[in-house]
Amino acid sequence: MSAATIEVQQYRPTERRVTFGGLVRSEWIKFWSVRSVVVTMIAAFVAIVGIGVLTSFATRAALADADGAQAMAAQGIDGFGASMTGSQMGTLVVAAVGVIVIAGEFSTGMIRTSFVTAPNRLGILAAKALVLAVNVAVVTGVAVLLAFLLGQAVLNTRDLGTSLGDDGVLVALLGNVAVLVGVALAGLAVGALLRNPAGAICTVIASIFVVPLLLMPIPDSWQGDKIQEFWFSNTPQNAALVTPVEGYLSAGTGILVFAAWVAVLLGLAALALKSRDV
């Protein structure tokens, strides 16, 4: 009687390489799975549209009066700028989104799992940046367009509004979206550098609103005017306006310098992720 021979095959696990596409899908799921991110994105949309429409109502009332119109013109406020007022508040909110996307993972320890999956770490930063940029561009793009259309509808009741086809309007709308995306990416970079959500958010807010005020007293003899022009949050001012404002870089130069700021911050964040422990 022959003994039955049982062939035992050794189990060999299949090696699966982590691709950039896989990282992007993972980050996309994480982006819309974090409640604070979803709430903050909704807050950004509401702020851009709501404040823009409310400011348009206030501007319509002020521009209807000759003295009020003269005062607002002296301050560089026009119908387009009124409807885009909410975009300035939106920069604070999207900056917080950028910080939360990465600093939130450091605070909870989830970033360790991500780094085990992709040990080189730079792929994770690139995937987060891409997902963040696309989502902020789409959400704020719709919000900016809606704020403009609703705001101009309010102003047009007194024949004070502008149309989408007017010179410089479409470019300025795209400029507003570009600024919002850039600030969100800057928030991501600062979040990666500081790894603390509260500290990173405070740092970004201070760089946008506090530092420009502190730079104002610097005399021109110390190149104070140049320092103000080339400071991070001041560089893209005219890129988001139809009527340029004196004291800031031109739209084209400003957006290039702003992009350089964001690129440098992301480069520092990449260096920190590569060189520092979790």
Burial of 61 (0-12, 13-18, 19+ CB in 10 A): exposed
In the predicted model, is pLDDT for residue 77 greater than 70?
Answer: no
pLDDT of the residue at 156: 85
**What is the value of pTM for the model shown?**
0.89
Span 146-157, pLDDT tens digits: 999 999 999 888
pLDDT: is 236 or 74 the higher one? 236
In the predicted model, is pLDDT for residue 58 greater than 90?
Answer: no
Span 165-188, pLDDT tens digits: 888 899 999 999 999 999 999 999
pLDDT: is 13 or 173 the higher one? 173
Residues 6+ positions from 167 with CB-CB distance below 8 Å: 242
The owner of tokens 């119908």 is: 79
pLDDT of the residue at 260: 97
Q: What is the CA radius of gyration of the chain?
A: 24
Altogether, the residues listed in the chain come to a count of: 278
Reported for 71-75, long-range contacts at CB under 8 A and 24+ positions apart, including other chains, are: none
pLDDT of the residue at 76: 54
Burial of 126 (0-12, 13-18, 19+ CB in 10 A): middle
Amino acid at the residue 19: T
Nearest to 246 by CA among 110, 91, 75: 75
Q: CB of 77 within 8 A of CB of 173?
A: no
In the predicted model, is pLDDT for residue 48 greater than 80?
Answer: yes
Question: So where are the chain's domains?
Answer: 20-275
- Summary count for the chain: helices (H), strands (E): 12, 0
Output the CA torsion sign for 181, 185, 188, 194: negative
The owner of tokens 């090696």 is: 15
* Residue 199 φ/ψ, nearest 5 degrees: -65, -40
In the predicted model, is pLDDT for residue 5 greater than 70?
Answer: no
